Amino acid sequence: MREEKTCLEFIDISMEFPGVKALSKVRMDIRRGEIHALMGANGAGKSTLIKILARIYRQTEGEIFLNGQNINGATPETIRNFGVDFIFQELELVPGFTVAQNIMIGIEPCRGPFVHWRRMEEESQRALDAFIPGAVDARSRIADLSVAKQQIVCIVRALSRNPKILVLDEPTSRLSASETEALFAALNSIRNQRELTIIYISHRLEELFRICDRVTILKDGVGAGTWDIKSLTKEDIVAKMVGKMSPPDKAKVPSPAFPGDTHQEAASLQAPLPAALEVCRIGVEGLIEDVSFEVRPGEILSIFGAVGSRKTELLEAILGIRNRSSGTVRIEGREVKLTGARSAKKHGICLLPEDRRKFGIIYDFSVRENTTLAFLKRFITRFGAIRKKWEAQTVKELCASLRVKMPSAEVKVKTLSGGNQQKIVVAKWLAGNSNIYIFDEPTVGIDVRGKSEIHEIIRRLAGEGKAVIVSSSEAEEAIGIGHRMVVLFNGCPAAQFECGSVKYEEIIFLSMGGKRNAG
C-alpha cells in the first residue's frame, strides 16, 4: 500500500542496452512537496532513470506510477500533460528568440489570429520577477544572456506550465555562489506556495544538506536505498555511492617523465625531465581560482572533477580561449602568452575537445580532409597545390597506427562510430607531431572497446615522450590512465595525488566538496 503523500513511484525499474544492464530493479518513491535528491557516481544510472521518467527511454521492466496512475504509456510529447517537467543539463532554448518568446513558446497569448506581443512580454516579466526579481529582462535575446540567466529562463518556462513535479539536473553547475543562493531561495519559495515536488540531481554534497529533504542513492545501476538527508553525513553518502574500491592496476601505464620506460625501478635511477607544461596560479574571475600543476614529457596528468567542476573552463583558460584574471603558463620553462587554439598549436599544444562533433571534426568532411586540415600547409607545394599522394599516404599510415575502422579515407567522418571519430581527432593532431596533448573527456559517448583503444593511444603517446593531460569526470578513468591527478571542485583545486596510491572513495568525496583531513 502506497504512502498517502507519495506522488511518484518507480517500481522495479530495469533498463538494458545492447551488452549493458544500466538499471536493475530500482525502486524509488517521491513524496508530494519534497525536494528529493537523486545521487550516484558517474555511470550509476541517474540519467537513465530520469530519461525513463521523461519517456525518452522505455524501461525493459518495471512500472511508474504518478498519483496512483500508471504512466508507462506516456510519450516524450505527452509526459508534461501529466504535470512533470524537466530542466536538463543541456538547456533547450531558441537562441534567436527573446526571453518572452521562449517562455511562452507554444502557449502564446493571442488577440484573434495574432500573437499579443505586449501581453506576452508583460506576463513573462511577471513570471520572471516572481521567481528572482529583476534578474532577467523578458525582452532580451537568449543569445545575449549568460548561461546562469538562461538557466533561470528554463526554470521559469517550466513553472509557467504549472507542473506538479520538476526535475532539475545539475541546476547549479554553471552558477556562481550568489546565483546559487538566489536559486535556492526561489525554489523554496515556489515549493511553499505551490506544494511543488522537485527531483534534484547534483554532485555537490553541500547543496543536498542545504535544500533537500530526502536522498535516493544509485550504485552501479542498483538502488542503494532512500534516507532522510538529516540522518546522513557527507561521508555516509559517498560510502553508499561508491563503497570501497582498490586502486586500479597501474602496470600498463608507462613510468612518468621517462619516455618508453615501463619499469619504475629503472625510472628511479634517472633524473626527472623538466616540465613540458607548467600552470601557475591560473584564475578566471568567478570561475577558476588558483590552480597550479605541471606535466612532464612521458607523463599523463589526470584532471578529475564532477559535472560543474569547470575542468573545460580551466583548459580553455590555459590555452587562452578564455580570458584569465591571473596566472601564468610556461612551456619548457619559458613563459608564453597563449591566445587560443591557433596560438597553442604553434607552441606544440593540441586540445582534443569534449564536444568532438562541434569542435573536433567537420562532420560532413571526409576522414582524409579532417585528418590533414589542421596542418594542411605541410601538404601544399609552394605553388599552392596539395601533394595528394603524400597526403593520402600520411592519412593511411596514421589511421592504420590508430586502428581506425573505415572502408576508405574518403568516407564522411559522420559515418564512423564515436570511438573511430575520436581516433580521427587524435590523427589530426598526430599529423602535426605536437608535444603536449590535452584530452577533454576523451571517452564520453564511446563504448567499452572504444574506451580501451583510446586509453591505449593515450598511453602510447606518453610512451613516445609526449606530455599528456586527460580531463575526465569518470573516477576510474582518471585513476587508471594517469600518473598524477588534480581534483577540482567548483573551479578550485581540492587535492593532488599520485594515482598509484589514491583511494577511489576519497577522490569522489573531494570532488563533491568534501574536505581533506589534515595530516
Query: Considering only CA atoms, which of 322, 320, 257, 329 is closest in space to residue 292?
Result: 329
For 482, the grid coordinates are 594517469
pLDDT one-digit tens code per residue, 382-438: 888 888 999 999 999 989 888 888 899 999 998 887 778 888 988 888 888 789 999
- Name the packing angle between helices 504-511 and 234-242 (round to 10°): 130
Cα 55 to Cα 76: distance, rounded to the nearest angstrom: 5
| The predicted structure's pLDDT at residue 518 | 53
| The predicted structure's pLDDT at residue 271 | 55
- Does the predicted TM-score (pTM) go above 0.95? no
For 226, the grid coordinates are 532512500
| The predicted structure's pLDDT at residue 4 | 55
| The predicted structure's pLDDT at residue 20 | 76
pLDDT one-digit tens code per residue, 50-92: 999 999 999 999 999 999 999 999 999 999 999 999 988 778 8
Q: Which residues of the chain are modeled with pLDDT < 70?
A: 1-4, 243-272, 445, 447-448, 517-519
Ordered structural domains, the chain, with CATH:
6-242 (3.40.50.300)
Helices (H), 340-443: 341-346, 367-372, 388-401, 418-430
| The predicted structure's pLDDT at residue 255 | 46
Q: What is the 3-state secondary structure of 76-92?
A: CCCHHHHCEEEECCCCC
